[in-house]
Structure 1
Amino acid sequence: MEDSNKSRDVWLMILFALLLLAGLAVLVLGVREAIGQGEYVTLGLGLLAVTIPASLYALAGSKSGTGDMGLYIQEQNRLLKSINDRMLISDQAKRIAFRQKDRDALREAIIEDLRQEDYDAAMALVNEMADEYGYREEAEQFRQQIIDVQAKKREVMIQKAVARIDELCERKDWDLAKHEVSRLQRLYPDYPTIDELPQRVAKAVNKHKLDIERQFLEAAERDDVDAAMELIKEMDKYLTPEEAAPFLETARGVVGKKRQNLGVRFKMAVQDRDWIDGVRVGEQIIKEFPNSMMAKEVREMLDTLRERAASQRAAMAGGQKA
């Protein structure tokens, strides 16, 4: 019986020795990973793998001759519990040691996202800093910084868009200005400055209408018929029938004078045998007063006038060569 116990103890010690060697191999690997990669999991496992077999090996050797296996098992359990407690303490110490490192890494990642203007990613890291790591005060500071940066950037973009709308209004490109306003309303529906833009464009349109009306009345008053006629065409784009009503009488007078002036110029060109000018004035009469009796008379003469104008040009060209 005693020989059997000795044989068992020998085999146990051999087993513990093999486990110890394996633990040493894991420990060496863990040291390399800790130095090269900053990973400490394998190192912890290696320490555990070395400590347990070494302790059991020594304990088994001291108990090999007593036969007190009950006490031997109790001491093994106590040793394992002690090792487990040490590992728990070691893990906690490791978490404390790397707490600041994790915090610094998280902070650097947030700052980098802000530099890249990736505000959604930065805000996700801020939430992680508050919820998972418990750095709520610092997370709140970052959160406010992100909100402020986004607000400032949005303000700059809106200012540029408003300046473009003003430029479009200066160019009288009302359709494009209104399109730009609609785009901004979709992007920033709750922004006070955007809410004022439709009225801004409407005010610019109304000012342009008033300017046209004033310029028309001034041109008519000084008998600048050509300018007044151009302004009538411009007014027709903006004024409703109700808005145009006060200007109808003046406009009729301007149109009448314009037609009369063109008629006089046409007759003088024909009388002076200035066929080239006669064709030009006649075509203008047909274009601006297509349904008038005067336009009908000009059409009947226009083919003949064009032939004479062509001959006149040829004669003028021959004279220049001579």
Structure 2
Amino acid sequence: MAQQETNSQQAQPQEPAKPRKPWFGTPTAILILGLLVWVLALAAAGGATVANHMLLQDATFTDEPTRIAFNYLVYFPSTLLAVLGVGIVVLAAVRWGVYGRDAVGVPDHRGQQEVVDLLKQVNQRLLISEAAKRIAYREQDLQALRHTIQMDVERGQFDAALVLVGELAQTYGYREEAETFREQIAVARSAEQDAKISESLARLDEILARHDFDRAGREAAKIQRLYPESERVRDVTRRVREARERYKMQLEREFLEAAEREDITQAMNVLKTMDKYLSEAEAAPLRETARGVIGKQRDNLGVQFKIAVQDKEWTAAVRVGEQIIREFPNTRMAEEVRAMIDLLRERAAGQQAVQATP
């Protein structure tokens, strides 16, 4: 029986003893070696200091170059040991940080492969965890997605909302609900566009009311560029052109009516305005009437000027004279007024000063 137990114990495989790692190759041992080298450097520096002190007391070494050379010689071993100690400590720190405190030599490729395998396992577990989270929080994600789509529609960010609608259809499979959202977005976008078009057309009407037809033409072209598919803006250019034609016809009618009732002032005002809108061909039928009105206006101004001068109403004379020069600069009457205007201004200033005196 004892023999069988002995045989069974001999048959069992013995676990191989783990080899002991050499301690002298570890970062700890290298660090201690560096500290020892520093201790030797300190001891050598102390000995060099003593030797240097003895040299200074020796009267035979009076030559300065000799003393300098001796100093360099006695401190060289301590300096070399200090530099060597720094290198050893840096080496120990690097090995400690890269391979660990007890590492000996450089880790083999088997250790690196084990690390890679471990990282792959962690990555697979993370992927499984993310998939599980997505399944667990599916309803919450859908609610958040729907809420975000609604908020984008309310803020007018329709393109961003359409991107999320595509996510709802492709990722989660809610295609019918995605189509409902697309219809809602289309309606909201159309309503917003109609509001913007109405605002642009109202702004165009304001410009037309001021008879600024050049600016109105630019505004109409801009509206057509912004909303090329809208039926409401298709005829805005024609609208501006027709408004311009109506205004020109209105000016012609007002001019002829003022000339017929011999309202020369009104006729001249309308004539100045017409000059901005009528071409030479359009103004040709009105040329004779305009000449008559202009002649009467010139004559009226000449009469007013003479009466003001005769009555010594110098302020009125200056005002009428400046109007003659401004409206009829190339006439003989304008030349006569220019010759008198400076004197008239002096007299008008004196008259005003007298009137202002209490």
TM-score by length of 1: 0.67
Residues in 1 aligned to 2:150 and 2:356: alpha-carbon distance in whole angstroms:
79
1:117 paired with 2:156, answer yes
1:310 paired with 2:349, answer yes
Match of 2:170 in 1: 131
1:165 paired with 2:204, answer yes
Match of 1:108 in 2: 147
Residues in 1 aligned to 2:290 and 2:158: alpha-carbon distance in whole angstroms:
60
- What letter corresponds to residue 221 of structure 1 in structure 2? E
User: Structure 1 residues 267 and 136, CA, compared in 2 at 3 Å: closer, same or farther?
Assistant: same
The unaligned stretches of length 5 or more in structure 2 are 1-6, 14-124
Q: Give the Å deviation of 1:115.
A: 2.8
Q: 2:247 aligns with which of 200, 208, 211?
A: 208
Match of 1:219 in 2: 258
Q: Give the Å deviation of 1:109.
A: 2.7
Q: Give the Å deviation of 1:43.
A: 11
1:189 paired with 2:228, answer yes
1:260 paired with 2:299, answer yes
Residue deviations 1:257-287 (CA, integer Å, cap 9, x gap): 0001111111222222323322221221111
Residues in 2 aligned to 1:213 and 1:43: alpha-carbon distance in whole angstroms:
81
Residues in 1 aligned to 2:349 and 2:173: alpha-carbon distance in whole angstroms:
94
Which structure would you say has the larger RCO, counting Cα contacts within 8 Å and 6 or more residues apart? 2
Q: Give the Å deviation of 1:40.
A: 11
Q: Give the Å deviation of 1:185.
A: 2.2
Residue deviations 1:28-79 (CA, integer Å, cap 9, x gap): xx9xxxxxxxx995599xxxxxxxxxxxxxxxxxxxxxxxxxxxxxxxxxxx
Q: Give the Å deviation of 1:104.
A: 3.3
Residue deviations 1:227-251 (CA, integer Å, cap 9, x gap): 1111111000000111111111111
User: Structure 1 residues 224 and 205, CA, compared in 2 at 3 Å: closer, same or farther?
Assistant: same
SS in 2 for 1:212: helix
1:234 paired with 2:273, answer yes
TM-score by length of 2: 0.60
Say which is worse superposed, 249-258 or 132-141, in terms of deviation: 132-141
Say which is worse superposed, 230-239 or 110-119, in terms of deviation: 110-119
The unaligned stretches of length 5 or more in structure 1 are 8-29, 31-38, 45-90
- What letter corresponds to residue 182 of structure 2 in structure 1? R
SS in 1 for 2:245: helix
User: Structure 1 residues 122 and 43, CA, compared in 2 at 3 Å: closer, same or farther?
Assistant: closer
Q: 1:178 aligns with which of 214, 217, 220?
A: 217
The 5 A counterparts of 1:73-152 are 100-152=139-191
Q: Give the Å deviation of 1:135.
A: 1.6
Match of 2:284 in 1: 245
SS in 2 for 1:238: coil
